[in-house]
Chain A
Amino acid sequence: DGGITQSPKYLFRKEGQNVTLSCEQNLNHDAMYWYRQDPGQGLRLIYYSQIVNDFQKGDIAEGYSVSREKKESFPLTVTSAQKNPTAFYLCASSIGPSGEQYFGPGTRLTVT
């Protein structure tokens, strides 16, 4: 079955540590996205990649970094520079740039 996998589902880190969230898709989609979801808020775009080896900052990229070395993979690193990293992180993909996106199950990150 095609889809998007994110791992792990729950992640706990100490403040000051960098952490990398995994996102893999086997849908053969070119575009991939990272969103942050906080309670009572909509999704906010962190980074976007339209093609391998290319990505653009979204609305809240500060304190985050990404790479896109393979079409299937778009890992997100939450760095120690991110002031409030505790959140639910969602990865998505689409055939090309589109509002019709496929989402992974999410990773809930807790930093204490």
Chain B
Amino acid sequence: GDSVTQMEGPVTLSEEAFLTINCTYTATGYPSLFWYVQYPGEGLQLLLKATKADDKGSNKGFEATYRKETTSFHLEKGSVQVSDSAVYFCALFYTGGFKTIFGAGTRLFVKA
């Protein structure tokens, strides 16, 4: 079945470091892909999305490109801040369906 696999955390970085969080997916069709962020004690917030192959989603300095050939949607940011410390979830959804499949989440710690 369809699934999303994320790199295990926690990921610990110093402020201003480059961030990559890997996400790969297994899909029988052509889903839309999403990154959500969850700050401590809160619900999830949509960070960015891409609806088809080669689309790049971007928001708040984060970006991810929908790579069909490698079935990946890696999250990147050029310079992280302490305020980026959170858990990041990769997810997929099929248009016409109702279920979003989430990865297990990757916790990011950014040190000052």
Chain A residues engaging chain B, CB cutoff 8 angstroms: 4, 6, 31, 40-43, 45, 48, 50, 56, 58-59, 90, 92, 97-106
Chain B residues engaging chain A, CB cutoff 8 angstroms: 4, 31-32, 34, 41-46, 49, 89, 91-93, 96-105
Interface of chain B, main secondary structure: strand
Known: A90-B43, A90-B44. A31 touches B89 (CB 8 A): no
Contact in complex: B100, A101 (CB < 8 Å): yes
Known: A99-B49, A99-B93, A100-B34. A48 touches B43 (CB 8 A): no
Complex contacts, B44 vs chain A, CB 8 Å:
43, 90, 92, 101, 103
Contact in complex: B105, A106 (CB < 8 Å): no
Contact in complex: A105, B98 (CB < 8 Å): no
Contact in complex: A50, B98 (CB < 8 Å): yes
Measured between alpha carbons, how far is A12 from B77 in the docked complex, in Å?
39
Contact of B43 among A42, A97, A104 (CB under 8 A): A104
Contact in complex: B105, A42 (CB < 8 Å): yes
Complex contacts, B104 vs chain A, CB 8 Å:
40-42
Contact of A97 among B89, B91, B98 (CB under 8 A): B98
Contact in complex: A42, B99 (CB < 8 Å): no
Instruction: List 4 tightest A-B contacts by C-beta distance, closest first.
Output: A99-B93, A103-B43, A42-B102, A97-B98
- A103 closest partner in B (C-beta): B43
Contact in complex: B89, A43 (CB < 8 Å): yes
Measured between alpha carbons, how far is A45 from B4 in the docked complex, in Å?
15
List 29 interface pairs A-B (beta carbons < 8 Å), by A numbering.
Answer: A4-B43, A6-B43, A41-B104, A41-B105, A42-B4, A42-B89, A42-B103, A42-B104, A43-B44, A43-B102, A45-B100, A58-B99, A90-B43, A90-B44, A92-B43, A97-B97, A97-B98, A98-B93, A99-B34, A99-B92, A99-B93, A100-B34, A100-B93, A101-B44, A103-B43, A104-B43, A105-B41, A105-B42, A106-B43
